[in-house]
Chains A and B, each alone.
Chain A
Amino acid sequence: MAPQFGMRGTLEQVPVRSISGGLVLLVVGWYLFIADTAADNDVIGGLVDLARGIREIPALTLDGSAYSSFWSYMFDSEGIGNILANTVDHSQLVLTSMFWAITISIGLGILVNRVRAVSGFVVGLSSILLTIPSLALFSIFISIPFVGIGDRGPIIALTLYSILPILRNTVTGLQEVDAAIVESAKGMGMSAFQRLMRVELPLAWPVVLTGIRIATLLNVGIAAIAVLVGGSGLGSYINDGLTRYPNTGSVERMWTGVVWTIALALAFDLAIGIIRKLTTPKGLR
């Protein structure tokens, strides 16, 4: 179930199942790829190697000597401490940019939601942001003073990317609140601010949260590119592996980055799922 970016619809929730399904496919693909190169296009040999790989039998690297399996490579060579440090850096990028994106998007969404023409314009503008190639957007900030090389550029870029899904869902969520409910709230003497805080935002919240969820997943993936402009995070494994390819361990290094990035996305997805459970009012479930 792909997220839908149509102008009016809400962004569908990406189920955890499809992400874990993707993870399994990637791992299987990786085994096939390694098996294929090792056995020199021998499909049957490749399948045999695949089976061995799954059972963690040695001889999976290019020269067939260095490590007994991908998993032992990952933990022995990179070291779990190092991986976790990069995961924390990666998470920091994501969390900081998500904080700004959520603040800006919900604030902007509330401001523009009353006037359809304005909200259409703002949502359109944020769609254009999403079409800028990520490498380009990351690179643009290097030349800007006070941003330069490091985590700041990526944080700005990631914030900009995350605005669209959250903003669109905030606007849609607020506009979809039943007009009769807002009418009765007004008729009982709730001020505009009370209506917003006590009625409109709570009712729009599940839709807003779905936007946040999608933005977070996009964000975790795109954050891996931050390393190219001097940022930190799990992208460094991918970048290193790519630079050193086809040296020994380069592919494993790339996959370390990929697997941990996916795992991190899954963890965020789960966390948001729990937040959703905890924050959705019982009457809306």
Chain B
Amino acid sequence: MTTTSTSTAIAASPTTVGEPKALISLQGVTKTYAGTAAPAVDRLDLDVPEGEILVLVGPSGCGKSTTLRLINRMIEPTAGKIIFDGEDVTRVDPDLLRRRIGYVIQQIGLFPHQTIAQNIGTVPRLLGWDKQKINARVDELLDVMGLPKNFRDRYPKELSGGQAQRVGVARALGADPAVLLMDEPFGAIDPITRDRLQNEFLRLQSELKKTIVFVTHDIDEAIKMGDRIAILGEQSHVAQFDTPERILAFPIDDFVADFIGSGSTLKGLNFERLRDIDLYSSFPVVEHSTHVDTARSTLEASIERWMLVLDEHGRPSRWVDEKCLAGPLQSLVGAGVEVAAKLPLHATLHDALEELLLSNAGHACVVDSDGVYIGIVDIEVLADVLKRMRSQARKHYESLESHG
């Protein structure tokens, strides 16, 4: 649960601001392999926004890896243009282009005959940096990736899968490129380590603000990692290109809906936080010093079956219902059921849903950083938010259609 909330904190933040400029543009890029009639990638137009993670996701064989490899010209396009930072790089020396673009692959491909330091210093060496500068950069990157300094002189075979992929990322960042291409970088790593690497990487990205193109076949990884997602169909046709929130709220066609699969509503709950929504504020609440009779009449006046009792600092303490109040009760202190869980404002709606499913009252209370009561979330609050998200996404696409 904690991992989801840390990841969404970063993933959700930049999407609300306006459209950033494209650092890389593919314009009508086509790749046809010799001996095949149908192109593997067909007239693809794709803008990669600066400083964001763009995830290319799609079923196997849709050409997402090919698309990625067209950007650094590991695969030469048959037609079309590649624009990198305003410059047409379709015909420049591919080796020089690649030194400006970090590249991480699933198999990592560390050089087994070189130390970790030599591996990380590969591109700086190619660029002719002096030794001191390379050494300093290696130390910096080991630190950034959370690897101990004494890894410098180790060899790749001495590393675990997770450590090796950290070194792989460090090596790609070697000469501090503006762009990073990542081809299923966490695909061959066990689920627990993968989750940790994803979170670490998102935290790193929140500082580095690199322009990243990230390929995966896993829609959950795409939702977690992407500032924007391009869902690719056959021949790399872009089926939908948008923020994960909007794709989840409004899959544009059946292909996208099928691909994101069931549970997209639940996944969408990860992108909204309690601080951004309207809470249920007219829920019956009383101080614990309130007379039992007053409490009874307050509950009777409301449509709810339960009410919340606050302690002397205004913090939620007990849930009480009619049955609790019916008996010969002297005071509200210690009556009813203890409030088990309190949600902070930065919790996601997903966290809230989990809490209110566990609570016996069907409600979850939201508190501020001092633990003081702010409001209540119930299933209707969540339903309202989902309705709003869906209608906003629909309006967004309607306005796009009317403009273009």
Chain A residues near B (Cβ < 8 Å): 178, 180-191, 194, 199, 202-203, 281-284
Contacts and interface: CB of A to CB of B under 8 A. Distances in A.
Interface string B343-356: 00000000000000
A29 to B, nearest CB: 44
Interface stretch (B41-49, B92-100, B142-150, B228-236): B92-100
Contact of B126 (A183, A184, A188): A188
A245 B99 CA distance: 72
Contacts of B155: 282-283
A265 B98 CA distance: 49
B84 to A, nearest CB: 14
B74 A186 contact: yes
B108 A284 contact: no
A206 to B, nearest CB: 10
28 contacts: A178-B107, A178-B109, A180-B107, A180-B108, A181-B109, A181-B110, A181-B111, A183-B74, A184-B168, A187-B72, A187-B98, A187-B105, A188-B98, A188-B99, A188-B103, A188-B122, A189-B94, A189-B99, A189-B123, A190-B122, A190-B126, A194-B126, A202-B113, A203-B113, A283-B114, A283-B157, A284-B112, A284-B113
A283 B156 contact: yes
A190 B95 contact: yes
Residue among A182, A186, A188 with max Cβ neighbours from chain B (10 Å): A188
A73 B172 CA distance: 69
B135 interface: no
Residue among A178, A181, A189 with max Cβ neighbours from chain B (10 Å): A189
Given A183-B107, A189-B126, 15 more contacts: A180-B107, A180-B109, A181-B112, A183-B109, A187-B72, A187-B74, A188-B122, A189-B95, A190-B95, A190-B122, A199-B111, A281-B113, A281-B114, A283-B112, A284-B113
B219 to A, nearest CB: 25
B105 A188 contact: no
Contacts of B15: none
A202 B98 CA distance: 23
B273 interface: no
A185 B118 CA distance: 13
Contacts of A182: 109
Which 3 A/B pairs are nearest by Cβ-Cβ distance? A184-B109, A180-B107, A283-B155
A187 B122 CA distance: 11
Contact of A184 (B94, B105, B115): B105
Contacts of B105: 180, 183-184, 187
B318 interface: no
B171 interface: yes
A186 B181 CA distance: 13
Contacts of B103: 184, 187-188
Contact of A188 (B107, B114, B123): B123
A282 B154 CA distance: 10
Contacts of A190: 95, 122, 126
Nearest to A181: B109
Contacts of A203: 112-113
A37 to B, nearest CB: 56
A182 B107 CA distance: 11
A186 B95 CA distance: 8
Residue among B94, B114, B172 with max Cβ neighbours from chain A (10 Å): B114
Contacts of B156: 283
B185 to A, nearest CB: 12
B74 to A, nearest CB: 6
B164 to A, nearest CB: 12
B247 to A, nearest CB: 29
A11 B107 CA distance: 28
A162 B255 CA distance: 61
Nearest to B112: A283
A189 B127 CA distance: 10
A191 B126 CA distance: 10
B70 to A, nearest CB: 13
A136 to B, nearest CB: 42
Contacts of A184: 103, 105, 108-110, 168
Contacts of A187: 72, 74, 98, 103, 105, 181
A284 B115 CA distance: 11
Interface in B62-121: 72, 74, 94-99, 103, 105, 107-115
A199 to B, nearest CB: 6
B97 A189 contact: yes
Residue among B97, B112, B123, B126 with max Cβ neighbours from chain A (10 Å): B112
Given A283-B156, A283-B157, A186 B113 contact: no
B95 A191 contact: yes
A282 B156 CA distance: 11
A194 B126 CA distance: 9
Nearest to B155: A283
A190 B171 CA distance: 14
A68 B318 CA distance: 111
A115 to B, nearest CB: 16
A276 to B, nearest CB: 14
